[in-house]
Structure 1
Amino acid sequence: MSRTGKKPIAPVSGVTVTISDRQVTAKGPKGEQSLTLMDIVNAKQTDGGIVIEPANESKEARAAWGTTRALINNMVIGVSAGFEKKLQIQGVGYRAAMQGKDLKLSLGFSHEVVFNTPAGITLTAPTQTEVVVTGSDKQLVGQVAADIRGWRPPEPYKGKGVRYVGEYIARKEGKKK
């Protein structure tokens, strides 16, 4: 039994969730998202919120049960409050700046990296060493943050690179004489 799947998704003020056929749609102040349900799970609206149930007792249905509940819950949270990832840039000469809607990164390459902002995502650079990624889709926010980090992941010797705020980097000792 899925502990996550058993919990109903509580209604959030300002968010309307509609279930029609196999399509779940959430509308809120931050936008609109939809999810197509698999055939092995069912969703229904009750007074206590949205309840997800496996269609049968197969292993696949029980595995998809909790996952589907988490995806719908993330949609509801995303259209009501949104998601945010903060990145920190460390290194001499490493900096970030906004160029219109695009993010311009100086990461020690011979050229500057220009990251095009995808639809549904808002990038901001409050300081030269900070980047904030916000949006209503949790998966897309995480993917954009990972793509930016992927240009120069933090290295273990000096700690230079792009890291998530609060990320721990195991530091290594350099070579000795």
Structure 2
Amino acid sequence: MSRIGYKEIDLPSGVEISQDGNVVTVKGPKGTLSREISPLIKMTIDGNVVKFDRDADTNKLKMLHGTTRANVNNMVEGVVDGYKKVLKLVGVGYRAQLKGNKLILTVGYSNPVEMDKPEDVEINVPDNTTIELSSINKEHLGNFAAEVRAVRSPEPYKGKGIRYENEHIIRKEGKTGK
């Protein structure tokens, strides 16, 4: 039984949700998001409450049930509040800068790494070692943050690299010399 799938989504004021076939569209104060959902999951809208139901109890449908509800809930939260991720650059000489639509990372390679900014992700670089990413789409934000982190992921010996703001890196002990 999917406990998450059977939870109702209460729509805040100012949020409109509509369904056209298998495409769900959510409009809110920060923007509009659309997503295609599985035709096996039935979505019903009763005023300010959205409910999800499934036809059968197979394992695949149980998984789709909870996932669909979570995705639509993330869309609702995104158009109301938005999402934000903060990345920190740790290391001597590591820095980030924003030039036009490109994020330029200098992280110890012979050449700086240039990354194109996705359309729906806002990038802010308040100082050389901090990157703030924000978006209404949680999935796109998480994917882009993971791509930026993968440029130089934190290493366990000195902790150098690009990490999320509250990420804890498990440190290893180096070689012990005699």
Structure 1 length-normalised TM: 0.96
Give 1:33-48 correspondences, 5 Å limit: 33-47=33-47
Give the aligned residue type for 2:25. T
1:26 is matched with: 26
Deviation at 1:48, TM superposition (A): 5.1
Q: Give yes or no for the alignment of 1:65 onto 2:65.
A: yes
Verify the 8 A CA contact 1:8 1:48 in the aligned structure 2: no
Structure 2 spans left out of the alignment, 5+ residues = none
Question: 1: distance between equivalents of 2:176 and 2:57?
Answer: 60
CA RMSD of superposed structures (Å): 1.1
1:76 is matched with: 76
Give the aligned residue type for 1:112. P
Question: 1: distance between equivalents of 2:115 and 2:88?
Answer: 16
Deviation at 1:174, TM superposition (A): 1.0
Identity in percent: 39
Deviation at 1:176, TM superposition (A): 1.8
Give the aligned residue type for 2:16. T
Give 1:8-157 correspondences, 5 Å limit: 8-47=8-47, 49-157=49-157
Deviation at 1:83, TM superposition (A): 0.8
* Cα distance per residue 1:19-61 (max 9 Å; x no partner): 2222211011222111222121100001451000012232222
In the comparison of the two structures, how many residue pairs are matched?
177
Deviation at 1:99, TM superposition (A): 0.9
Question: 2: distance between equivalents of 1:83 and 1:55?
Answer: 33
1:172 is matched with: 172
* Cα distance per residue 1:91-132 (max 9 Å; x no partner): 000011111232111100111111110111111111111001
Question: 2: distance between equivalents of 1:73 and 1:124?
Answer: 26
Structure 2 length-normalised TM: 0.95
Question: 2: distance between equivalents of 1:52 and 1:107?
Answer: 46
Instruction: Give the match's secondary structure for 1:97.
Output: strand
Question: 2: distance between equivalents of 1:141 and 1:102?
Answer: 16
